[in-house]
Homo-oligomer: A and B are copies of this chain.
Amino acid sequence: MSQVLSVPPGRRELTKVQNRQAILEAARSVFGELGYDAVTVRDIIRRTGLAAGTFYNYFRSKDEVAAALSDDGTRRFAPILKAQREQASDWADFVRRALGAYYTFLADEQSNWLARRPIDESHPRVHGVTPEGLAVFEEVRASIVEEAARGGAQGGDPYMLAAACIGIARYVGEQMLVRRPVDTQAATDFAVTMILTGVTGLRRSTN
A→B interface (CB under 8 Å): 35-38, 63, 66-67, 70, 91, 120, 122-126, 129, 131, 134, 138, 141, 153-157, 159-161, 163-164, 166-172, 174-175, 187, 190-191, 193-203, 205-206
- Whether B125 contacts A126 by the Cβ 8 Å rule is no
Contact for A37 among B35, B187, B195, CB less than 8 A: B35
Interchain CB contact under 8 A, A161 and B199: yes
Contacts of A38 in B (CB 8 A): 37
**Contact in complex: A124, B175 (CB < 8 Å):** no
Check A169–B167 contact: CB distance below 8 A: yes
Would A164 and B168 count as touching, CB distance under 8 A?
yes
Among B37, B153, B157, B190, which residue has its beta carbon within 8 angstroms of that of A199?
Answer: B153
Specify which of B124, B169, B196 is in contact with A200 (CB 8 Å cutoff): B196
The docked-state distance in angstroms from the alpha carbon of A154 to that of B199 is 8
Q: Do residues B202 and A36 form an inter-chain contact, with CB atoms below 8 A? A: no
A174 to B91, CA, bound (A): 24
B153 close to A202 (CB less than 8 A): yes
> Chain B's nearest CB lies how many Å from the CB of A149?
14
Report the Cα distance A127→B187, complex, angstroms. 27
Check A175–B159 contact: CB distance below 8 A.
yes
Query: Apart from A157-B190, A200-B200, what are 15 other A-B pairs with CB-CB below 8 Å?
Result: A37-B124, A37-B125, A67-B123, A70-B122, A160-B172, A160-B175, A160-B187, A163-B175, A164-B168, A164-B171, A167-B167, A167-B168, A167-B172, A198-B200, A200-B201
